[in-house]
Amino acid sequence: MAEIAHVSKRTIDYYTSIGLLKAERSKSNYRIYSDEALDDLKFIEECKCLHFPLDEIKRKLEMRKAKNLQESEVDKHVSAVTQQMRQLHSDLFDLIPILEKLDEDQKEKLTSNLSLLRTVLMKSLLSVTT
């Protein structure tokens, strides 16, 4: 599993020890990870790339797996995401004076990257709301 997910065995052991990953045990006491555990590991690594702390990642995993979520829990999560979006908007707004100092090639490169990210975000939002 470590090779498939491009992480170390030590990382997998750590995630298992703190409860982020679940494993069954073989008769010879080896850990056996399911396909679901591999999906969880990929999700964990994606969240880490976004700088989420491990306790937040654990909460996100629990929400993904919950059969019945309380409306208040969903509301709390939506509020947190909304706040993050506001912060990102503010951070981008703060970049405007810096962007104005760049040459045209640099501006083009940065704005095309932002445009791609905006498209991905919009598709994600649309998939949630439709």
| 92 contacts 117 by C-beta, under 8 angstroms | no
Q: How many CB atoms lie within 10 A of CB 11?
A: 17
Same domain (yes/no): 35, 78? no
Single-letter amino acid, residue 22: K
Single-letter amino acid, residue 86: R
Q: CA 121, CA 124: separation in Å to the nearest integer?
A: 5
- Total length of the chain: 130
Same domain (yes/no): 23, 78? no
Same domain (yes/no): 41, 21? yes
pLDDT one-digit tens code per residue, 37-65: 999 999 999 889 888 899 999 988 988 88
Last residue of one domain, picked from the residues 43, 65, 87:
65
How many domains does the chain fold into?
2
Same domain (yes/no): 41, 77? no
Q: CA 18, CA 84: separation in Å to the nearest integer?
A: 26
Last residue of one domain, picked from the residues 65, 91, 120:
65
- Range of 34's domain? 2-65
Top mean-pLDDT range of 23-27, 63-67, 94-98: 23-27
pLDDT one-digit tens code per residue, 75-84: 887 888 888 8
For the entire predicted model, the pTM comes to 0.62
Query: The domain spanning residue 51 has which CATH number?
Result: 1.10.1660.10
